[in-house]
Structure 1
Amino acid sequence: MNIIGTTLGGRYLVIEQIGEGGMATVYKAKDQLLNRYVAVKILKHEFTQDDEFIKKFKRESIAAASLTHPNIVSIFDVGEQDNIYYIVMEYIHGQTLKDFIKKNGKLGYKRVLDITLQIAMALEHAHKNGVVHRDIKPHNIVITEEGTIKVTDFGIARASTVSTVTNTNKVLGSVHYLSPEQAKGGFSDHRTDIYSLGVVMYEMLTGKLPFDAESPISVAIKHIQDDFVEPIQIDSSIPKSVNDIVKKALEKDMFKRYQSAKQLIDDLNKVKENPDTLIDNFDETQSTRIIDVKDVDKALKKKSKRRFVKPIFITLSLFVLAFLIYYLYNNYFTVKDVEVPNLIGLTETEARAKLEPLKLKLEVEGKEYSDKPEGSIVKMYPEDGIKVKEGSTIRVKLSAGQKKVLVPDLKGLDILEAEILLKNNGLVRGNIDRKYSDTVDRNKIMDQDPKPNTEVIEGSEVSIVISDGKEEKFTKVPILLGRTIEEARASLTAANLVLGNITYGYDSKYIENVVISQDVAAGVTVKEGTIINIVINKKEVEQTQQEQQGNTNNQ
């Protein structure tokens, strides 16, 4: 059935198929009401023919929709249209953990601890809310582009238990991650998820599965009765503490396994801090065991007559049944839906005050730079207007204000070098001015605004001043004729000119010791610093010239 282009629920426009599993096909869709992309998971046709399954699917999906946690893919909506049963979920850019393992092979134990911890936190949240996944496997775990781990398919996984566990073809994709109690078809609870997570952890550490065989039935039997090769025997670099966590998670006896996700989280955190830490062994005295009814019967025979056993057993059964009904009623039938208010722009304190009357919790996931006031909420999830269960957690991000950077020193650089340096520091070049400089080479930066090491907002402009080199100034040559050497020197200095060679000659029109000639005429415009040569009037020069003339005539 081609549903591309179909609008589901009057708001979800199906755009393209992005994935397919054993039970459902996943599509990318546009939520036209909230103007955002979502993932829509549509049940395959063969499952829509099973009325019992559909009822369970609806019930479990609604329960899963109440889960709000950073490591759980959120469910926004559950619906039916023209015999199409669908779940609307958070759209995530990323890859499944299975694809990640296939691509990278076995992972380092530190990365494994980090991924396992995030999955365990998702399970802890779900288990506290009465939701058991029952199909934890790398295929149902997504790694976002930012590296966050998210567990998906809570509703569909639990609803599928009855329909798939007895069907060899359907169980094939999950049999490697089945707990022994699931493989037996017996009672299972939240500890089933812990076993499956142990298998996932084993696969991440070794790149292999703890049990494998040619047929699904053979694999299931191995889960029930075979021992696995410990991870540390495959890779000796794995710390013993990490190996022991896997062993404890993969205990075939539910009562020897981790009894809660919280216990597993505690051990994971201990090992992250100190890989040499010791993992506690199982202590039967610390666990509550289910005692066989026959054993109870035998014990009661020794203390009282047999006729009292049956009434006591009935009384206890009624008490357990009453407690179970009370628990289910309080946890599943009295939780109200509330509409998420708009928290954008509020401070953390203001947001908590707004959520408290609605019985909603606030979780700050961190901060990000923005142009909004520092400390104000800039993102929230779920978004305002979405209905959630009382007790749900609203995740928000706070503004860290606008990001600030230090202005680099651009002096002595050319324009290209400056632009590259500015870009690397998150800044852009601003205005360019040019000035003469006696100290900075031509076309090099001589000044900037803001000054170096000034803290400014990322993306700010930095204006620069570029040197045109030394300025060539001009002046007019003064009149030096008739002036003494000292007067000539002073006149030239005043005009930023330099007195050059001084020679002597004679001119009867001038008195002794004054300038009678200059090599650059007065009034001529020349560069400042030009050298001006002069001739000084001397009587002795005339006599010497006359003597030289006489000697020439005699010859």
Structure 2
Amino acid sequence: MDTSVADPLVGQVLDGRYRVQSRVAQGGMATVYVGHDTKLDRTVALKVMHANLVGDEEFVRRFIAEAKHAAALSHPSVVAVYDQGTSKGHVFLAMEYVPGRTLRALLTERGRLGPREALEIMQPVLAALGAAHRAGVIHRDVKPENVLLNADGRIKVADFGLARAESASKQTKTGMLIGTVGYLAPEQVISGDADTRTDVYAAGIMLFELLTGRQPHQGGTPLSVAYKHVNEAVPLPSSVVPGLPPQIDALVASATNRDPARRPSDAVHFHSAAGEVYRTLPRDIDETLAGVSPVTAPMPDPSAVSSSPEGSTQALPAPAGAGTQMLGAGTQMLGPHTMAIPRDEHTQPDPGPPPPAGLRGRLLRPPGLYGVIAAVVVVVVLLGGVVWSVTLGNTERVPKLVGLSEEQARVEAAKLGLKVKRGDSRYDQKIPKDRVVDVQPKVGTEVKKGTLLTLVFSKGKKPVDIPDVHNMPLDQAKQRLQSVGLQPGDQVQQDSTTIPRGYVIKTRPAAGTSQNPDDPVTLVVSSGIKMPNLVNMRRDQANAALSKLGLNVQWQEQDPAPNQPENIVVGQNPPPGQQVNRGDSVQVTVTKGQCQWWNPFCKDNDGGQGTVPPVTGQTIAVARQLLRQNGFQVKVSKGNGRDIVTGQNPPAGTPQPHGATITIWH
């Protein structure tokens, strides 16, 4: 559009806050401007309703209500609605400003996209629609024009629910259906109904267009396109772009099923299905298909559509990529991509031009003898065809569906005029989970078209109990898992004062629980004890810390530096942070000090008192070392034969003279 023409709204301030800076787009419902929010000092997009709609009180009421619903949405892929107001006779929305271009502009430039790139665009679109559906908001006008590609690579969906205000207003007064004809779901054409599944249908059409560069239903008039939505299935994308994988066909077929009950119930489920398909695509598939030329479908000749006798309609080609192509009689354009279709003409096919005058005369001429003979022959042929179709021509053989997903199986069965339903599931060692493992009737059985096939799905491999590999070396633990058919997965390191370094502490899931053999088992492996930093500790503090970790201490002394305190740790080996095992020896260097009670070889031992340390739960060797380091003698009494101290006397914390005997038993 020519933005050079002076716009009286540019330069004005709406609601005392929003300064209109420039006009950027104009549609059937509103004009969009770039504006500046003077209150919050930010750039906004201002959507100002056309004057003819502002005078419609019912429209304004519905528009405000829908704007409130849209403003309640909070999702990174939804264009945010900041404010709504009426100022100087203008009804407007203040919205998030998204610099960049529309998905329609990208399609116009590129023609079509590879399947991975197409699904990468669809994922945030479906996430935005899913958030709206969970909040009870229906978009009603999903199309590439309403998908914005931000300059920084983000993708956002605009105009949530706003089509409802316009369509409700028009339907009330004229009985017309408002929508973008290329994306209308069959139920919208027939009754005007819209729910989450109509958004799914439109999104499926948009995915088809991204993959093929064209809309699935083509026609000389919007009415003929609408008729095809009701009466014809959307073709498989691979019929236009050879080489597209079957899971892409299944995804589009599921979303664009003419029966709403057989589509994903909302965009949340469509988003999940699209993500699963994306994960199955080869990484180089876009490059592989880049050179494939789309199959060219015959298009209607625009010259075959002429003005009506009354001159009420002028047939004009629509812009490239537009949602409508031509306008037939009784059709109103409400914007660049939105049309109104008379409700009683929705399901009527385009009759096409009348036969030539000469042919009309021959058709109306009474039949003679040859005509009667010809008619009899036609009847016989037709009856023969009916008999053939009822007998041989109306049967198919059950196809091989094993290994396919449910949607893929539906597509393959539908090609033969067969239906499917989900039956029981069972474990299978070969067929992956949620794939068809069997079909009833059996593959190859001859059945009538329309027969309902029952699909049996795999539950995956039968679960296996996870064995206990606690305190096993890592390699031995892996072999144990593999011996029962499980896959060792990631190894997670964890400090342990009881399990030696390199030994398994536990598994995730825990031992004794059941696990699908295809799912890996995580092993939590001991990294040993992380050596603490002892430097600058007092000797008794370092001794207590190392004893608690079960480490054997080898003390070394060196003369203190000037003004350096006595009995302070000045060195250690291993250094801080190094992993060690319980029972390892540690060398600790301290500054020399006076003779202390804990040194039994000190000639100046003062024979004072100490406190009995806790040794219950320690090994006999560690307990003996702890007690001796604290100045006590040790007596060991046999118990159950294990190497773990189960009791001590006197109890821990009891004051005892240095040199006293502490009895431990095991």
> TM-score under structure 2 normalisation?
0.41
> TM-score under structure 1 normalisation?
0.49
